[in-house]
Amino acid sequence: MATPRNDVLQSVFITGLKNVHGVEHQALALIDRQLNHLTNYPEVADKLRKHRVETEQQIVRVEEILDGFGESRSLLKDAALTLSGNLAAIAHVFAPDEILKNSFANFAFENFEAASYNSLIALADAGGFGKATPLLRTSLGEEQAMAAWLDEHNAALTLQYVERRAAGETASH
Ligand SMILES: [Fe+2]
């Protein structure tokens, strides 16, 4: 039975799905921007390429859940296109330590995504939208794994950057 609380739960859930859909599109753009300008850190490039594939699947999962609520795709495109540009500022193409700044920003971004999925899982559980939960959990796991990888490689990447600079090699990207 529809109650005011259930209506609010569903509304917040659907808004959250649309938001994360936009965030994932922004993630694709950020990954592409970095891959276009990344030559000396093949391990990072490889990881970004793999996570790009995961990100595309995450978008499909969100669309599948939204389809179940009869939400139209045309509105989603709008949401993706009207994203605020502030996240785009985390492209650090002109910084001498671009590789490090991007790595820190990626870590922040992956944690933002993980928090979004955690929030959606709580809404799905509370609202009885049980079909969504396994899809959201899969995406959450991918975001957490990516964040963990970035965290684990932060120290080594920093030292790699120092070695390249000390050797007079291109170190920024
Ligand atoms: Fe991600």
Centroid of ligand 1 to alpha carbon of 169 (angstroms): 30
Residue range 112-121: mean pLDDT, rounded:
97
The domain that holds 87 is classified in CATH as 1.20.1260.10
**pLDDT score, position 63:** 95
User: Could you give the CA distance from residue 141 to residue 135 in angstroms, rounded to a whole number?
Assistant: 10
Centroid of ligand 1 to alpha carbon of 142 (angstroms): 7
- What is the tally of structural domains in the chain? 1
| Cα Dmax for the chain | 68
**Within a domain: residue 173?**
no
**pLDDT score, position 156:** 98
Task: Please compute, for residue 107, the number of CA atoms within 13 A of its CA located in the half-sphere on the CB side.
Answer: 13
**pLDDT score, position 172:** 94
pTM: 0.91
Residue 2 reports pLDDT greater than 80: no
**Within a domain: residue 91?**
yes
Centroid of ligand 1 to alpha carbon of 26 (angstroms): 10
**pLDDT score, position 85:** 46
Centroid of ligand 1 to alpha carbon of 110 (angstroms): 5
According to DSSP, residue 40 is labeled S
Residue pointed to by tokens 């739960």:
9
Domain of residue 126, residue span = 4-166
Centroid of ligand 1 to alpha carbon of 14 (angstroms): 20
Centroid of ligand 1 to alpha carbon of 115 (angstroms): 11
**Within a domain: residue 62?**
yes
**pLDDT score, position 42:** 97
Centroid of ligand 1 to alpha carbon of 5 (angstroms): 31
Centroid of ligand 1 to alpha carbon of 104 (angstroms): 14
Task: For 50, list phi and psi in degrees, rounded to 5.
Answer: -65, -40
| pLDDT tens-digit readout, 78-94 | 655 555 444 555 557 77
Centroid of ligand 1 to alpha carbon of 107 (angstroms): 9
Out of 30-34, 60-64, 73-77, 88-92, which region has the weakest mean confidence (pLDDT)?
88-92
**Within a domain: residue 29?**
yes
| pLDDT tens-digit readout, 13-56 | 999 999 999 999 989 988 988 998 899 999 999 999 999 999 99
**Within a domain: residue 140?**
yes
**Within a domain: residue 20?**
yes
User: Could you give the CA distance from residue 26 to residue 37 in angstroms, rounded to a whole number?
Assistant: 17
**Within a domain: residue 172?**
no
Residue pointed to by tokens 């996570």:
51
Tell me if 52 sits within 8 A of 145, measured CB to CB: no
| pLDDT tens-digit readout, 117-163 | 999 999 999 999 999 999 999 999 999 999 999 999 999 999 999 99
